[in-house]
């Protein structure tokens, strides 16, 4: 138990240097297996992914997701398969124009906000967190609904702390009733706050549907509307059929839990990636100059960046890949064994918690040259691993059945935000700070954001109006 503070992406990476790419820890009653090599990750995520497709759920996760009524933590099976299909085909589909439009609109607003602050220090971390929250909040609850957003952010922040909190009862179950850390009361308060907030929004959406007799203009729908199309008072129903409408019916708890997934999956992860990209480029001034010169050559300073430009922005895309290699959105991918298994010749008992260290794998010297250095040019070479999920040296979005269903929307927001911030403005560090003095430490949680917010001074770079 004295090793608990080492169960972070950095702590486990340090232990792997001593014990190898796979090692076992016994934490109370729980078997934990840490994986830090690409080949071992491939055995778990590809070769035996049917055995390793469950997600472990702590006491906090089970309670806050309404006993795994969501997609992110539901165990693998018919319910999870249909929920994933719903997310891929409905919520995150490229056909769902509203989500992609919300990214474009909110990035535009952010650029205008920065333009109004030129010459003064801007808290880039807070700026991009607000950007991603606005994108997801709008996509989930509707374009006009900004009411209660601050309250919802505080609920999310408490959930994040509870998800990441060390609860001794997860490892020694009989201590659940004792609750020596007082977490049970916090869990009850947090879920009660979420219930009150989202129940009100669901009721408003149901009322809107009834007024229009169920027929909504597609342009006016948000994620709650999309989920309510599958809502049933009778409870959960799952059939293995291709027709999604007949395959699944959702309870109110399912809808609330999926909204939580979308909020968590789409805010801090994307905001953290944008902030890390800006910080790495500001630390590596040569790469910043190359990326901005490419933008000047491809787009020109007389107009704004457009979607059609991205295919030609090779170096910018390399900087984003390098950011994701060094700072994967989810540093530790958690899986659980559905049955006894063998990995690299070792026995892994059923119910073991398997921690795949995407952060350590992205920095493995056996897979990458000079792995701890930010070198976007490495992605210009042929045969370099890509992050689509089939190269296990580079898995920022996971791989296999449990890979991130919102990857495309998240990448779109990352590209658009970083592209516009670099194209429209030049950036300097405040108070004469040198790039080498930037703090590049992170904080461990479900994500690994920067330990200190990035502060920088923008100056307008383009000659067109913003």
pLDDT band at residue 237 under the 50/70/90 scheme: low
pLDDT for 242: 58
pLDDT band at residue 182 under the 50/70/90 scheme: confident
pLDDT at 3 over 80: no
> What integer best gives the mean pLDDT of the chain?
90
Superfamily, domain 4-460: Cytochrome P450 (1.10.630.10)
Segment 414-436 mean pLDDT: 97
DSSP 58-126: -HHHHHHTTTT-SSSSSPSSHHHHHHHHHIIIIIS-TT-HHHHHHHHHHHHHHHHHHHTTTTS-EEHHH
Weakest mean pLDDT among 146-150, 187-191, 251-255: 146-150
pLDDT band at residue 419 under the 50/70/90 scheme: very high
Collect all residues with Cβ–Cβ distance below 8 Å to 162 and sequence separation of at least 6. 60, 64, 183, 186, 187, 190
Weakest mean pLDDT among 43-47, 81-85, 89-93, 345-349: 89-93
pTM of the model: 0.93
pLDDT for 221: 80
Q: How many CA atoms lie within 13 A of 120 on its CB side?
A: 6
**464 known member of a binding site:** no
* Closest-CA residue to 429 (of 37, 32, 122): 122
Weakest mean pLDDT among 31-40, 204-213, 274-283, 425-434: 204-213
pLDDT for 99: 82
């Amino acid at each position: 138990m004295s090793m608990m503070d080492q169960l972070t992406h950095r702590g486990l990476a340090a232990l792997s240097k001593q014990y190898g790419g796979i090692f076992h820890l016994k934490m109370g009653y729980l078997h934990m297996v840490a994986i830090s090599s690409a080949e071992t990750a491939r055995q778990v995520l590809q070769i035996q992914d049917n055995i390793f497709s469950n997600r472990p759920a702590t006491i906090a996760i089970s309670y806050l997701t309404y006993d795994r009524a969501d997609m992110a933590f539901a165990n693998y099976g018919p319910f999870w398969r249909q929920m994933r299909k719903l997310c891929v085909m409905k919520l995150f589909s490229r056909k769902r124009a509203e989500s992609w439009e919300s990214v474009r609109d909110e990035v535009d607003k952010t650029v205008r906000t920065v333009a109004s602050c030129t010459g003064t220090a801007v808290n880039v971390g807070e700026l991009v967190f607000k950007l991603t929250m606005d994108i997801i909040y709008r996509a989930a609850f509707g374009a006009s609904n900004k009411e209660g957003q601050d309250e919802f952010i505080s609920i999310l922040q408490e959930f994040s702390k509870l998800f990441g909190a060390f609860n001794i009862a997860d490892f020694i179950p009989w201590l659940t009733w004792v609750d020596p850390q007082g977490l049970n009361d916090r869990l009850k308060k947090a879920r009660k706050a979420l219930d009150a907030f989202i129940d009100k929004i669901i009721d408003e959406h149901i009322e809107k549907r009834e007024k229009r007799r169920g027929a909504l203009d597609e342009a006016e729908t948000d994620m709650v509307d999309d989920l309510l199309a599958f809502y049933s008072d009778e409870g959960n129903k799952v059939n293995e059929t291709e027709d999604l409408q007949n395959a699944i019916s959702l309870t109110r708890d399912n809808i609330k839990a999926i909204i939580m997934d979308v909020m968590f999956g789409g805010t801090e992860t994307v905001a953290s990636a944008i902030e890390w990209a800006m910080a790495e480029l500001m630390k590596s001034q040569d790469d910043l100059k190359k990326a901005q010169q490419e933008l000047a050559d491809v787009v020109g300073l007389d107009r704004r960046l457009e979607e059609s430009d991205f295919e030609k922005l090779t170096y910018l895309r390399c900087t984003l890949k390098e950011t994701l290699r060094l700072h994967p959105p989810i540093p530790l991918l958690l899986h659980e064994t559905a049955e006894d298994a063998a990995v690299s010749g070792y026995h892994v008992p059923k119910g073991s918690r398997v921690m795949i260290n995407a952060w350590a794998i992205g920095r493995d010297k056996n897979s990458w040259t000079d792995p701890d250095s930010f070198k976007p040019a490495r992605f210009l070479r042929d045969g370099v691993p890509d992050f689509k999920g089939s190269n296990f040296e580079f898995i920022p979005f996971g791989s296999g059945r449990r890979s991130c269903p919102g990857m495309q929307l998240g990448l779109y927001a990352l590209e658009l935000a970083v592209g516009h911030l670099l194209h429209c403005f030049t950036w300097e560090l405040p108070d004469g700070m040198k790039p080498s003095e930037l703090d590049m430490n992170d904080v461990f949680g479900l994500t690994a954001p920067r330990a200190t917010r990035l502060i920088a001074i923008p100056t307008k770079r383009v000659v067109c109006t913003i």
